[in-house]
Amino acid sequence: MSQDGLIRFVDDPKQKYMFNCGEGFVVDTLPEGTRVLYPRKPLPPLEDVSGAIENALENPLDAEPLSSQLRPGMKVTIAFDDISLPLPPMQTPDIRELVITKLLEKLGAAGVDDIHLICAVSLHRRMTPQELKRILGHRIYHHFAPDRLYNHDAEDKDHNVFMGETEKGEVVELNRRAVESDLLIYVNINLVTMDGGNKSVPVGLGTYRSVKEHHTVHAMMHSRSYMDPRNSELHHSCDRMGKIVNEHLNVFHIETSLNNNTFPSILGFLNKQELDFTSFDWLNLYLNKTSCDLMPMGVNRKIFSRVFSPYGLTGIHGGSTDPVHEKTLENVHKQQLLEVEGQADIVIAGIPYIGPYNVNSIMNPILVYCMGLGYFFNFYRGKPLVRKGGVMIFLHPLEYKFHKVHHPSYIDFFEEVLTDTLSPTEIEKKYEEKYAHDERYIDLYRNSHAYHGVHPFYMWYWGCAGMDWVGKTIAVNPQSREAAERIGFDSALNLQDAIEMAKDVVGPSPNISVYHCPPIFMCDVR
């Protein structure tokens, strides 16, 4: 055991360990000597949230106090992060509601009445009225919607505007209302280090022409973890775009960080290590597992969609983008960073029921691939937890199932593109533009609640560095072996079989690490 009990080594082959497995759980043993990595306990939340918000607005970093920037008759736009964060959604009131309420009070006191609120969805699906109400509260929603509260539309040619190009020729194209505002206020939730900073405005309020500049195979392959912005080509591109934005716009950035108090008390065992379980925790786990095993997956999905997290606010800063983001990264690292000595031959992780792109939806096979070889592989700073040529083992039901409203282009990507090739480079070259400009996908993105036609491509690119790095990826007991094979995963009947299969790649005496998540954490691998 080391680092305050966050790293444990299995010394009892009979000890049971729990894995999230989609909308259910797996309980199994692990080989002796296996290293199990756990997240830190939740950091203490700020006691005076209202006071912290006020301080962020009136004592900003490298900027004038917000109140001194306001005047009657000015045009103000407030943009905010969409439903992809945090995960699971937080208990109400959402921190975005609290921050925006305070902003509206200050704007009202200053005589500012030309105010628009824009959900910065980028190429994600449009949020529903109910989802917006949950984030912002009914009062704000009913006061501003639909004319002054709406989703950003990346395909609205009349309401997006070209701003310029970076020194590397990257196109910066943004929401017209935001560009023409006297003040643009952006409200972030920072659950992971990938988000926030200069990734907010150019991406959240950008168009396909802008987003495609850095959502590329090249950027992913040249990002030494996209959870490490200083070594990420994705973020370097966003930084260059951010310079263009800040040259033309008056941006007041507000970023919040949350602790990892992820699950309510009814699922409290998920926040604990197995060796710390009480008898009640084990009973609770097995009751939940049995219930999930007996009920149809769709029912489980509906139940888990009603899980809301009691996160605590650990920090909030306002002002100029770069200094604000530096403070945010410090806060996120305090909660999430775990020092780890040495890489592993095999890394095992259970993939939970929810990710950024299936909130109130279904985690389809492409999203399972993205969560595994994209997010879980990239939850590191320094070097990957798994060694080059090692094996990653994932536990997830892996259904051959898609949400027809949210993910129509995913279905076609799965059936057309992946039956042709798994190569990210070939996929990007041969298919991306076709899907990006398909009129049907554009119409569904604009007028329904579908992700943009190009979105499954980016999810595939997310995993390309992991795909290139590992020697084999194994899915444990997938419901659809065909789906697993389609995304490049081998299949095993159970965890023990998966480990034996992995030994064929890494040798008979492997070093094994288990990534015990959620809650989220990232490894600082030495």
Query: What is the DSSP code string of 436-480?
Result: HT-HHHHHHHHHSSPPPTTHHHHHHHHTHHHHHH-SEEEEES-S-
The answer on 26 and 148 residing in a single domain is no
Asked whether residue 251 is domain-assigned, the answer is yes
Asked whether residue 276 is domain-assigned, the answer is no
**SS3 (DSSP) at 25:** strand
Residue-wise pLDDT tens digits, 305-329: 999 999 999 999 999 999 999 999 9
| Domain stops at, among 212, 230, 258 | 258
Report the number of distinct structural domains present in the chain.
2
The answer on 15 and 62 residing in a single domain is no
How far separated are the first and last CA of the chain, in Å rounded? 17
Tokens of 290: 């049995």
Among 160, 181, 175, smallest CA distance to 73 is for: 181
- Cα(232)–Cα(236) distance, rounded to whole angstroms? 6
The answer on 505 and 481 residing in a single domain is yes
Q: Which domain holds residue 486?
A: 7-33+341-525
- Cα(214)–Cα(339) distance, rounded to whole angstroms? 29
Asked whether residue 489 is domain-assigned, the answer is yes
Residue-wise pLDDT tens digits, 378-436: 999 999 999 999 999 999 999 999 999 999 999 999 999 999 999 999 999 999 999 99
Q: Which residue has the tokens 């399972």?
A: 368
| Domain stops at, among 239, 258, 277 | 258
The total number of residues written for the chain in this structure: 526
Residue-wise pLDDT tens digits, 147-189: 999 999 999 999 999 999 999 999 999 999 999 999 999 999 9
Looking at residue 1, its pLDDT comes to: 36
DSSP annotation of 11 reads: -
The answer on 92 and 19 residing in a single domain is no
Looking at residue 224, its pLDDT comes to: 86
DSSP annotation of 94 reads: P
DSSP sequence for 95-144:
HHHHHHHHHHHHHHHTT--EEEEEE--TTSPPPPHHHHHHHH-HHHHHHH
The answer on 20 and 66 residing in a single domain is no
268: Cα within 13 Å, side-chain hemisphere? 11
Q: What is the pTM of this model?
A: 0.97
The answer on 185 and 104 residing in a single domain is yes
DSSP sequence for 251-285:
EEEEEEEE----S-GGGGGGGS-GGG--HHHHHHH
Q: Which helix (H) or strand (E) holds 58?
A: helix 49-58
Looking at residue 406, its pLDDT comes to: 98
The answer on 518 and 451 residing in a single domain is yes
- Cα(180)–Cα(506) distance, rounded to whole angstroms? 57
Q: Is the dihedral of CA 238, 244, 249, 250 positive or negative?
A: positive
Tokens of 339: 């020092």
Tokens of 144: 């501003």
**What is the CB neighbour count within 10 angstroms for residue 293?**
10
The Cα angle at residue 224 between residues 222 and 229, in degrees rounded to 5? 100
Residues of the chain falling short of pLDDT 50: 1-2
Looking at residue 276, its pLDDT comes to: 96
The answer on 505 and 417 residing in a single domain is yes
**SS3 (DSSP) at 483:** helix
The answer on 224 and 142 residing in a single domain is yes
The answer on 25 and 97 residing in a single domain is no
The answer on 238 and 121 residing in a single domain is yes
The answer on 19 and 124 residing in a single domain is no
Looking at residue 3, its pLDDT comes to: 60
- Cα(393)–Cα(372) distance, rounded to whole angstroms? 9
164: domain CATH number is: 3.40.50.11440
| Domain stops at, among 258, 280, 309 | 258
Q: Which residues pair with 466 in a beta bridge?
A: none
DSSP annotation of 39 reads: P
